Amino acid sequence: MADGEWEQAGGALHRRLREVIAERSLLTGGAFTLASGRQSSLFFDMKRTMLDPEGANLIAEAVLRRLEGMDVDAVGGLVMGAVPIVAVACAKSFPARPLQGFFVRKEAKDHGTARQIDGNLVRGARVAILEDVTTTGGSAMLAVEAVRGAGAEIACVLTVVDRLEGAAATFAAAGVRFEALLTRDDFV
């Protein structure tokens, strides 16, 4: 489902998700350092939306709507930003269209299973990498590379908010479909 279709099909959902993020997660007026190392006066503290009952439900519903029609077996992403999204999307996907979930660490654990990827990812699966906020796309690309290394195929990277600072170009260069539920422009 393309951006315009998502806004039309899920109009009320799209508007409410934007409102909740604006109320709970949008911070302005400070000097924030982003994961990319860039400085910004606008910051999305998405944990405040992802860990709110309404916010979590809205994100899960929006993710599942965006994935409609895509051949996807599992959803996953990089620790920490993707974990709450993966959990709620997996839970909400059952029983209509059960999606398996997994998460990717930046590095393999040094104890226990010593895995970099935990959860339910199998070789040959088609997956959607989920992300809370993208700037340059670097964090999600770590997950893309690990998942490809595990023998799975990337159907898309789906972010809740794209800051419009280079992520689309990063994914295009890697041959990865990129989708955003909302962009920075929805808030400024």
pTM: 0.92
DSSP tag of 88:
H
Predicted local distance difference test score (pLDDT) of residue 181: 97
State the Cα–Cα distance between residues 87 and 74, nearest whole angstrom.
11
pLDDT tens profile 102-150: 999 977 656 555 578 999 999 999 999 999 999 999 999 999 999 999 9
pLDDT tens profile 33-91: 888 888 889 999 999 999 999 999 999 999 999 999 999 999 999 999 899 999 999 99
Say which CATH number the domain at 39 has.
3.40.50.2020
Task: Return the closest-CA partner of residue 130 out of 165, 81, 184.
Answer: 81
**Amino acid at site 61:** E
The three-state secondary structure class of 76 is strand
* Tokens 């290394």 found at: 149
State the Cα–Cα distance between residues 165 and 83, nearest whole angstrom.
23
The domain in which residue 18 lies consists of: 3-186
Q: Give every CB contact of residue 154 below 8 A, 6+ residues apart in sequence.
A: 126, 127, 128, 129, 144, 147, 148, 176, 177
Region label for 138, one of left (φ > 0), alpha (ψ between -120 and 50) or beta (otherwise):
alpha
Please state the domain count of the chain.
1
State the Cα–Cα distance between residues 130 and 83, nearest whole angstrom.
9
pLDDT tens profile 3-20: 555 455 568 999 999 999
Predicted local distance difference test score (pLDDT) of residue 9: 54
